[in-house]
Every structure is written in structure tokens, then in C-alpha cells.
Amino acid sequence: MNKRILVLPGDGIGPEVMTVATAVLQAIAVRFGHNFIVTQGLIGAAALAVTGEPLPKQTIAQCQQIEAVLLGAVGDPHYEHNAVSLRPEQGLLGLRQHLGVYANIRPVQVWPQLQAASSLKTAVIEGVNFIFFRELLAGLYFGKPRGRSSDGETAVDTMRYSKAEVRRIVRLAFQAAQQRSKKLCSVDKANVLECSRLWREVVIEQAKQWPDVAVTHMYVDNAAMQIIRQPKQFDVIVTENMFGDILSDEAAQVAGSLGLLASASLGDRIALYEPVHGSAPDIAGHNRANPIGAIVSVALMLEYSFGLKAETAAIHTALSQTLTAGWRTADLATALTPPDHVLDTSVFGQKLIQYI
Ligand code: NAD
């Protein structure tokens, strides 16, 4: 199979984890006889430094000629006082908008080998396996008006949803629930927010088309607590943009580290794959980042965009073997991890590639 992929390493630990992710992709190409043509592009602070824009026209043009985008992370404290349009994060929001990727899918899985890395007791997390469907193109991150009053004393952000925007993500979540354990939990704040009441109305309307899926509605504050209290109760969670952003970071720590989670952002055309974490400026440049979220993002790309099931399984198997052999990155190490089993980002990647 011939496929063209745009890799946007971005900022901070983005380039470090993307170097490993692309090496894993090439190892899969060699083992299975594929030709993955990878081109690199600029986004975020890396793009601002070169072009003055967080999402350069050149990057948009590169998206015309490829079949999937793999992204590291964006964000740099150096630009945190920039105007909104000139912040690195704006590059990522703009790219998601340009690609029309409205469904952000974030699987949460507790690897048996990593139970000790979680902040929670083993009995609570054993066998946890659920998936977020986060709406990605509307809500507070995009609604207008937004900004400051002229005297700087007042700020406004707008949460806005149309029924059509809710319906398309809710339908995908129902489809997934039907193929999994037929349980869907919709998370909102319908006791306070009008957007959430609209959200809930659409979920109830759509539920009629999936009578075999059991639907529950949960307020976001309760959901935040339930994810810690009893994560095994969840299978598919569907929620709006900001709630999904926050809850999935929380869920990452149920699994053991923010560095573990991957995501697929789907729309009607080219999909975008990226780890859930940010640019982690506190560890950037030290080759300490956990590349698993980026590696699993490659697996999601092979599965969702290219339909390559054996190749996807090969990545998961190699990852499982690497963990069973006891290899860890610093964020996953516990008091019982032998120091010589705590590896750099790149060495962890090399171990995993040996298994592929
Ligand atoms: P972050 O996700 O970058 O880091 C949060 C904490 O998790 C840090 O202590 C970090 O060291 C740790 N961490 C994150 N990824 C890790 C990994 N792979 N391995 C080991 N540890 C890891 O979030 P933050 O510190 O709140 O934000 C930093 C910057 O990233 C900000 O500019 C923010 O806007 C941006 N950000 C970008 C994205 C994205 O690109 N999708 C997502 C979230 C935040």
C-alpha cells in the first residue's frame, strides 16, 4: 500500500515523540511491505518562529496532497502573552477547523503491566477500557463573541452549539456504542447550561434510532468524580469540546500517565492523529517524554484511515511486549522499577521497534 502522511512535530516534546512515532511507522512499512511517504510541516510555535503564523499557508497547502496528518503537540510559554491569533495553540485549532475534524476519539485503556503507575488502586482500574467521543469544532473554543472589553476589565467566551453540530458527533458515538457493549454515557451540564439542554435533547432524539443502546446522562461534575470512583462503569462517553478536553486528561491518569493516551480526529475528509498531551515544556529537550501516546496515534491512523488491522495489532503487540519486558519511561516508573529499566524516549522507541 502507498500512503502519503503529513507529520507536524510542533513544539516542546512534540518533535521528540514524533521522531519515535515515524520510526515505528517505517518499521511497520518494512515488516508489511508498505510505502509510507512522510513529509514534514510546521505548526504552532515552530511555525511562528519561521513564518510569523501558527498555521502557515504552506502547511495548509501540504494538507492537499496527503491522506492523513500525524501531529506531535503545540504550545510554548514564550508566546503566552501573544494576541490570540498569534498563539501556537491557534495553529492547532485552525488546522482542526480546516480539516473539518469534528469528532475527537480518545480511547482509555489500562495496560495490565502498568497498573502500578496509576494513581488509583488496582481493584478500581483493572480492565478499564472506555472511549471518549469529544466534539471538537464548536463550543467554548470557537464560539463568538470572544475577547476583552476595551478597558481590559471584562472578558467573554461564548459556548455555542447547533443541533447539527451535536447530532453528527452523537451519531458516531452511538455507532461505536452499538459495536462495543451497547452503553452510552452522555456528559453535559444540563442543570445550568442552555447548550447542554440542547445537547441532551439531541441525544434523546437520536437514542430512538439505537433502541438497543442503553443511554445515561451525567452532569460533568459528577462524571469527573465517577471516573475516579468507578471508571469501569464507562464504555462510550460522548461530550462537548471543553468537558471532553478536561475529562480525558483526568482519565489518562487512571491509565497511569498523560503520555499514554492517543487520539483520532475524524471528519468527512482527511483525519488527524495526535497524542492527547501538550508540549510539556517542563520536560521538553530532555528526551524523557513518554512516546506511547504518539505510537498509539500511529496505530489509530493505520486502523481508521487505512484499514490496516494486522499492522495496528502489530503495534499493540509490540507495545505490550515492551511493557511486559519491564521497560518504562520516567513517568511510568514506580519505586519497584529497576533504574536500568527506565529509558529515554528514543531508547524506549528502539526497544519497541525491535519487537515489531
Ligand atoms: P501538558 O500536557 O503539556 O503537560 C502536563 C503535564 O504532563 C506536565 O507535567 C508534563 O510534563 C506531563 N506530560 C505531558 N505529556 C507527557 C509525556 N508524553 N510524557 C511524560 N509526561 C508528560 O499540558 P500543560 O503543561 O498544561 O501545557 C503545556 C503546553 O501545551 C501549553 O502551551 C498548552 O497550551 C499546550 N497544550 C497543547 C495540546 C496539544 O497540542 N494537543 C494539548 C494540551 C496542552
Assigned domain for 107 exists: no
Indicate the pTM of the whole model.
0.97
Q: How many whole angstroms from 331 Cα to the centroid of ligand 1? A: 13
Question: pLDDT tens for residues 117-156?
Answer: 999 999 999 999 999 999 999 999 999 999 999 999 999 9
Q: Pick the catalytic residue from 76, 102, 161, 189.
A: 189
Same domain for 250 and 126: yes
Same domain for 65 and 138: no
Could you tell me whether strands 68-73 and 271-275 are parallel, antiparallel, or unpaired per DSSP bridges?
parallel
Report the b/e string of 265-276 with b at 16+ CB within 10 A.
bbbeebbbbbbb
Q: How many whole angstroms from 277 Cα to the centroid of ligand 1? A: 5
Question: pLDDT tens for residues 249-305?
Answer: 999 999 999 999 999 999 989 999 999 999 999 999 999 999 999 999 999 999 999
Assigned domain for 113 exists: no
Assigned domain for 111 exists: no
End-to-end, the C-alpha distance of the chain in Å comes to 18
Same domain for 178 and 152: yes
Same domain for 294 and 244: no
Question: Burial of 332 by CB count in 10 Å (0-12 exposed, 13-18 middle, 19+ buried)?
Answer: buried
Nearest-CA residue for atom 42 of ligand 1:
278
Q: And the C-alpha cell for 134?
A: 469529544
- The pLDDT of 72-94, averaged and rounded, is 91
Same domain for 220 and 136: yes
Residue 84: pLDDT band with limits 50, 70, 90: confident
Q: Is 249 a residue of the active site? A: yes
For the chain, what percent of residues have pLDDT higher than 90?
97
For the chain, what percent of residues have pLDDT higher than 70?
100
CATH number for the domain spanning 226: value is: 3.40.718.10
239 is in which domain, residue-wise? 119-255
Q: Which of 43, 82, 279, 344 to mutate to test the pocket of ligand 1 (most atoms within 8 A of CB)?
A: 279
Q: Which of 234, 255, 276 is the last residue of a domain?
A: 255
pLDDT of residue 78: 93
Q: Is 163 a residue of the active site? A: no
Assigned domain for 324 exists: yes
Same domain for 266 and 250: no
Number of H helices, E strands in the chain: 12, 14
Q: Is 141 a residue of the active site? A: yes
Within 6 Å (CB) of ligand 1, which residues are found?
13, 73-75, 89, 92, 257-259, 274, 277-283, 289-290, 293, 331
Assigned domain for 220 exists: yes
Q: Which positions ≥6 away from 87 have C-beta within 8 Å?
A: 54, 79, 80
Q: How many whole angstroms from 56 Cα to the centroid of ligand 1? A: 23
pLDDT of residue 279: 98
pLDDT of residue 7: 98
Q: Which of 248, 258, 265 to mutate to test the pocket of ligand 1 (most atoms within 8 A of CB)?
A: 258
- The pLDDT of 46-52, averaged and rounded, is 96
**What is the number of structural domains in the chain?**
2
Q: What is the DSSP string of 33-77?
A: T-EEEEEE---THHHHHHHSSSS-HHHHHHGGG-SEEEEEE---G
Q: How many whole angstroms from 319 Cα to the centroid of ligand 1? A: 22
Assigned domain for 64 exists: yes
- The pLDDT of 38-45, averaged and rounded, is 98
Q: Helices 309-324 and 345-355 meet at what angle, rounded to 10?
A: 120
Question: pLDDT tens for residues 331-342?
Answer: 999 999 999 999
pLDDT of residue 75: 96
Same domain for 159 and 123: yes
Of the candidates 162, 239, 165, 170, which has an alpha carbon nearest to the alpha carbon of residue 206? 170
Of the candidates 175, 214, 116, which has an alpha carbon nearest to the alpha carbon of residue 304? 175
Same domain for 243 and 318: no
Q: Which of 255, 277, 298 is the last residue of a domain?
A: 255
Res 82 pLDDT > 90: no
Q: Pick the catalytic residue from 249, 304, 344, 355.
A: 249
Strands (E), the chain: 2-10, 35-40, 68-73, 103-109, 129-135, 143-148, 155-158, 183-188, 214-219, 236-239, 262-266, 271-275, 328-329, 342-343
Q: Is 282 a residue of the active site? A: no
Q: Which of 255, 281, 316 is the last residue of a domain?
A: 255
pLDDT of residue 80: 84
Q: How many whole angstroms from 279 Cα to the centroid of ligand 1? A: 5
pLDDT of residue 201: 98
pLDDT of residue 232: 97
Tell me how far apart the alpha carbons of residues 194 and 216 are, in angstroms, rounded to a whole number.
19
Same domain for 140 and 240: yes
Q: Is 304 a residue of the active site? A: no
Q: Pick the catalytic residue from 3, 11, 76, 141.
A: 141
- The pLDDT of 25-41, averaged and rounded, is 98
Q: How many whole angstroms from 208 Cα to the centroid of ligand 1? A: 39
Mean pLDDT of the chain: 97
- List the Cα angle 108/322/21 in 5-degree steps: 65
Same domain for 275 and 159: no
Tell me how far apart the alpha carbons of residues 9 and 296 are, in angstroms, rounded to a whole number.
15
Res 4 pLDDT > 90: yes
Q: How many whole angstroms from 194 Cα to the centroid of ligand 1? A: 31
- The pLDDT of 307-314, averaged and rounded, is 98
Q: And the C-alpha cell for 41?
A: 510541516
Nearest-CA residue for atom 36 of ligand 1:
278
Give the three-state DSSP class for 83: coil
Assigned domain for 112 exists: no
Res 186 pLDDT > 90: yes
Nearest-CA residue for atom 38 of ligand 1:
278
Nearest-CA residue for atom 34 of ligand 1:
75
Assigned domain for 109 exists: no
- Own/partner pairs for 224-227, CB < 8 Å, 24+ apart? 224/250, 227/251, 227/254
Same domain for 251 and 129: yes
Same domain for 197 and 90: no
Question: pLDDT tens for residues 235-250?
Answer: 999 999 999 999 999 9
Q: How many residues does the chain have?
A: 356
Residue 49: pLDDT band with limits 50, 70, 90: very high
